[in-house]
Amino acid sequence: MIHLLLAFTLTVLLPVLVSAHGYVGSVTIDGTSYPGNEPGGATNPSIIRQVSTIDPVKGSSNPSLNCGMNATLAANVANANPGSQLLVHWVGGSTGDSDWPHNVGPIMHYMTKCDGSCSSYDSSNAEWFKISELGLQPGNTTWYQADIMAGQPANVTIPSNIAPGGYLLRSELISLQLAVSVGGAEFYPACIQLNIGGSGTGAATSSEECTLPGCYTDSEAGIYDPEIYNPPLTYTFPGPPVAAFVGGDASVGGTTPTGSGSGSGSGSSSAPASGSAPSPTASSGKFSDPLFTLASLPIRRFCYIFPYRS
Ligand SMILES: [Cu+2]
């Protein structure tokens, strides 16, 4: 009987377990969709650098903090322009057939200029600047990442005055459900290869840039947070501030009504997709999610039950 029960429990839990992490399945740029490759799977020409696994990057000095786990160059580069809107579709599971599984932690976007074509650019020593950061929604209890978990893409706008050239756009989710311990944070970076046109002149200053790894430490606020389960929260974003030249972008696109409500000072990005209403789904949606429901049990997170999956 015990064995039967165990077998039943595993049968129920395993499908959830294998979807406990994720990756960027595709990116939509001004309405055109660009598919990515499954982590560790076949490599088709893409604009998204392929990672080797859906597992998170652990540790702030991990070289994979740059573009994701063992990321490799992508063959293609997409054209975009200052003011272009990108929807970054984070998905869950090794084949991306489920929603992003985490709802605690920030959504941030960085860029760096490629030296030559981004399809051959090694960014391991690149200096990155931040173009957006989203943390807590108004009320300081629900994260914008909960909207990603509810199936919405991360929404980011290319700065309206950015100088033309090749750029990597780095989309990053940090999942903080284990961040009550130093080293517990899960980093999920992804790099998208762009060629940006126009005649802008905007650029970050060197004090607004840092390398990845290099931007973060394991023990700083925003990465290690023993109070993460004691809302309402005050959240301090890791990394540099949003670059000053991005500042004028707050209203560009006009599709992100809730983006500036987080107090982050960025305003150029928002988790909710244009035209969708984020708030009604924020609470009802997450309670219907099996992972969240299980995560709400007295034992708070799977990763404690199955530490090898953390
Ligand atoms: Cu995960």
Q: Where residue 53 sits, what CATH number does that domain have?
A: 2.70.50.70
CB atoms within 10 A of CB 100: 30
Residue 20 has a pLDDT of 86
Residue 17 has a pLDDT of 45
Residue 247 has a pLDDT of 85
Residue 173 CA to ligand 1 center (angstroms) comes to 10
Domain that holds residue 130: 2-309
- For 108, counting Cβ atoms within 10 Å of its Cβ (0-12 exposed, 13-18 middle, 19+ buried), the class is buried
Residue 56 CA to ligand 1 center (angstroms) comes to 7
Q: How far is CA 90 from CA 97, 147, 168, 243, 294, in A?
A: 11, 11, 17, 24, 21
Residue 13 CA to ligand 1 center (angstroms) comes to 14
Residue 233 has a pLDDT of 95
Residue 188 CA to ligand 1 center (angstroms) comes to 9
Residue 164 CA to ligand 1 center (angstroms) comes to 35
Residue 175 CA to ligand 1 center (angstroms) comes to 7
Query: What does each of the 310 residues of the chain score in pLDDT, given as a tens digit?
Result: 445 444 444 444 444 444 489 999 999 999 999 999 999 999 999 999 999 999 999 999 999 999 999 999 999 999 999 999 999 999 999 999 999 999 999 999 999 999 999 999 999 999 999 999 999 999 999 999 999 999 999 999 999 999 999 999 999 999 999 999 999 999 999 999 999 999 999 999 999 999 999 999 999 999 999 999 999 999 999 999 999 999 854 443 333 333 333 333 333 444 444 333 333 333 333 323 334 333 333 333 333 333 333 3
- Tokens representing 221? 């606020």
Query: How long, in residues, is the chain?
Result: 310
Residue 198 CA to ligand 1 center (angstroms) comes to 38
- For 14, counting Cβ atoms within 10 Å of its Cβ (0-12 exposed, 13-18 middle, 19+ buried), the class is exposed
pTM, 2 dp: 0.80
Cis status of the peptide bond prior to 232, with omega within 30 of 0: yes
SS3 163: coil
What is the count of structural domains for the chain? Answer: 1
SS3 233: coil
Residue 58 has a pLDDT of 98
- For 73, counting Cβ atoms within 10 Å of its Cβ (0-12 exposed, 13-18 middle, 19+ buried), the class is middle
Give backbone dihedrals phi and psi of 182, rounded to 5 degrees, phi first: -60, 130
Question: In sequence order, what E strands does the chain have?
Answer: 22-29, 32-35, 57-58, 78-80, 85-92, 98-99, 107-113, 128-134, 154-157, 165-175, 186-196, 209-210, 269-270
Say how far apart CA 187 and CA 108 lie, in whole Å: 11
Residue 144 CA to ligand 1 center (angstroms) comes to 16
